[in-house]
Amino acid sequence: MVLGWHGPQWDAVFALGEWFDTGRHSSTDPASVGMGYKSTMVTGGATFYPDSRRAWSVSALARFEKNGKQDGTGITPGNGLTLEWGVARQIGGGKQLGLVGYYQGQTTDDSGPGASSLKPRRTGLGLQFD
């Protein structure tokens, strides 16, 4: 479910989603397409346009995922948090140029027999052109 709101100088979104375990999963086959567990996702984000022409935009989005128990392993992967952001400028011809980034990290420990105590995280930074 996705809900969106729009104002003269802002846009906002809220979403709830459920990722179902529909793909084949094998803990011993790295090419299996499923993850072996379902996840519930909650997302919220907004874009602010500082000028009335909407030439500039500043965006942020947060997503939280709560994971279920993995089939065949008894392990429940830790929950995750993703933060995304961007700052962009219209450069004409319907094109934008900007700077974007993200952070993604595991917020809770894995649990279950043989579960890892690692909490992986990653970040990224890049240019936007579209």
> For the segment 68-122, what is each residue's pLDDT rounded down to a tens digit?
998 888 899 999 999 999 999 999 888 999 999 999 999 999 999 989 889 999 9
Query: Residue 18: which of 68, 71, 74, 76 has the closest Cα?
Result: 68
Considering the domain boundaries, does residue 25 fall inside one? no
Residue 33 has a pLDDT of 73
Whether 78 maps to a domain, the answer reads yes
Alpha carbons 128 and 90: distance in angstroms, whole number: 11
Would 24 be classed as within a structural domain? Answer: no
Residue 98 β-bridge partners: 88, 128
In a domain, 29, yes or no: no
C-alpha–C-alpha distance, residues 43 and 107, integer Å: 16
Please check whether residue 26 lies inside any domain of the structure: no
Residue 98's domain comprises: 2-19+34-129
Number of domains in the chain: 1
In the numeric block, the tokens 């500039």 are attached to 56
Query: Structure pTM?
Result: 0.86
Please indicate, yes or no, if residue 83 is contained in any of the structural domains.
yes
9-46 residue pLDDT tens: 999 999 999 988 877 777 777 777 777 789 999 999 99
Residue 51 covered by a domain: yes
**CB under 8 Å to 99, separation ≥6 — which residues?**
86, 87, 88, 125, 126, 127, 128
Residue 102 lies in a domain: yes
